[in-house]
Amino acid sequence: MLRQYVALRPDDFVGQFNLGLAYDYSARFDEALRAYDKAEQLQPNDPAPKTTSGAFSSSASGSMKP
């Protein structure tokens, strides 16, 4: 359902960011990064996509990024 929402509203920062979170929780890391990148393009001054991208994928592999 979130993918459908974002497809209809591709310029929605919160939608893109939440889609990234959903993909991260599902271990779909490539798709998560694409959603985070889109969110970052929409609001480049918001630190959330930068700090969140990779956090889940790093913890899933057992190592956190600095």
Task: Calculate the alpha carbon distances from 57 to 24, 29, 33, 62 in Å.
Answer: 7, 6, 10, 9
Instruction: Confirm whether 23 is domain-assigned.
Output: yes
Q: Tell me the whole-structure pTM to 2 decimals.
A: 0.79
Tokens of 19: 């889609």
Instruction: Confirm whether 20 is domain-assigned.
Output: yes
Instruction: Confirm whether 62 is domain-assigned.
Output: no
Determine contact, residues 35/20, Cβ cutoff 8 Å: yes
Quote the domain boundaries for residue 19: 2-48
Tokens of 4: 């459908």
Determine contact, residues 40/33, Cβ cutoff 8 Å: no
What digits encode the pLDDT tens for the residues 8-54?
A: 999 999 999 999 999 999 999 999 999 999 999 999 999 998 888 76
Kindly report the CA angle at 23 between 13 and 53, in degrees rounded to 5? 65
Whether pLDDT at 60 is above 60: no
Instruction: Confirm whether 57 is domain-assigned.
Output: no
What per-residue confidence (pLDDT) applies to 5? 96
Number of domains within the chain: 1
